Amino acid sequence: MSVLCPKAVFDKYEDATFKLVMLEPSVALQDYEVVMRNQVRLRAFFKGIMNWPKADMTLAENTASLAHHQSEFEQREAFAFSVFKVASRACIGSVYVDASRNIEFDCELYFWLDEKELQLEPQLASAVCDWLQQDWGLSRVALVGREISLSDWLRDIKAQS
């Protein structure tokens, strides 16, 4: 099992555009609405890792999933964040920071934004990478599904096993 070893951990981040808060049950309804609005695109993005979200996922199932993310966060196993747009206070996506399964990287960074906010993806990627590198001390961030295709990532992990 891979272990994530940041020099420090933060449960929130904010800049002029984004506010990230720990993904946990209090944001379940907002999260659920944006997840279900983007479910087809999310299943395509995470294909090969997981079959999520299910087309018939309920709010209760989403709430349970967020409780699991909170538990992982509190145990320092993985770090998931809800992404809010500062100007509108709307939930617009999620960020996931996991231990790297590839020895060349400190962590795996996955994120997604609502289809209406896709133009913000490069800005979010830059902000989160800078935050992880400067404040968390994770200098080698793998932007999986972005700078590294998911198929290449999974192939490299399998080759290292």
**pLDDT tens digits, residue range 19-68?**
999 999 999 999 999 999 999 999 999 888 888 999 999 999 999 999 99
What are the domain boundaries of the chain? Answer: 12-160
Identify the helix (H) or strand (E) that includes residue 15.
Answer: none
- The CA-based angle 91-96-99, given to 5 degrees, is 170
Side-chain half-sphere of 62: how many Cα atoms within 13 Å? 21
CA 94 to CA 102: how far, in whole Å?
A: 22
> Is the per-residue pLDDT at 1 higher than 80?
no
| Exposed e or buried b per residue across 124-145, where buried means at least 16 C-beta atoms within 10 angstroms of its C-beta | bbebbbebbeeebebeebbbbb
For tokens 């946990």, the residue is 24
Amino acid at 27: V
Superfamily grouping for domain 12-160: Gcn5-related N-acetyltransferase (GNAT) (3.40.630.30)
* Average pLDDT, rounded, for the chain: 95
**pLDDT tens digits, residue range 120-135?**
999 999 999 999 999 9
Cα-to-chain-centroid distance, residue 86: 18
**pLDDT tens digits, residue range 54-66?**
999 999 999 999 9
- The CA-based angle 30-34-39, given to 5 degrees, is 140
What are the strands of the beta sheet with 141-143, ordered from one edge? 12-14, 18-22, 78-85, 91-99, 107-113, 141-143
Assigned token pair, 74: 């509190």
